[in-house]
Structure 1
Amino acid sequence: MTFDPRPFASRRKRLAEQLRKAGGGVAIIPTSPERLRNRDSEYLYRHDSYFYYLSGFTEPEAVLVLIANEDEDTRSILFCREKNEEREIWEGFRWGPEGAAEQFGLDEAFTIDTLAEQLSVLLGNQPALWYSLGHDASHDSQVMAALNAVRSGARNGVSAPADIRDVRVLLDEMRLFKDASEIALMRRAAEISAAGHLRAMRALRPGMYEYEIEAELLHEFRRQGAEAPAYSAIVAGGANACVLHYSANNGLLRDGDLLMIDAGCEYRSYAGDISRTFPVNGRFEGAARDLYALVLSSQKAAIAECVPGKAFSDPHDVVVRILSQGLIDLGLLKGSLDEVIETSAFRRFYMHRTSHWLGLDVHDCGEYKTGGAWRELQPGMVLTIEPGCYIRPADDIPEAFWNIGIRIEDDVHVTPTRPDVLTSAAPKCIKDVEAAMAGH
Structure 2
Amino acid sequence: MTARTIVQVFDQYQKARMSFVQTVADLASRTHNVECLENAGALDLLRLLLADTVPSIQQMSAIALGRLASFNEKIAQALVRREIIPQLLRGIDKQNKFYKKAALFVLRAIAKHTPEMASAVVHSGGLEASIICLEDFDMGVKEVAALCLGHIAKHNKSLAQAIVDAEVLIYMAHQDEDVSRNAAILTKEICKHSLELAQLVVNTGGIGGLIDLIGTSKSSPKLPAIMALGYIAGQSNQLAIAIIGSAGVIQLALLLQEEKEDHIRAVIVWALGQIGKHTPEHAKALAVANIFPKLIELYTNPKCDEDLKAKCKATLKQVLQKCIHVEALEPLLHDAPPDILKYVVGQYSKILPNDARIRRLFVTTGGLRKVQEIQTELGSTLSEYISVINCCFPEEIVRYYSPGYPDSLLEAVEQYQPKCPSLLGVEQRGSELSTNLTDSSCSLNEYE
Question: What's the TM-score, normalizing by structure 2?
Answer: 0.20
Which protein has the bigger helix share? 2
Pair member with larger Rg: 2
Q: Relative contact order: is structure 1 or structure 2 higher (C-alpha 8 Å, sep ≥ 6)?
A: 1
Name the one with the larger strand percent.
1
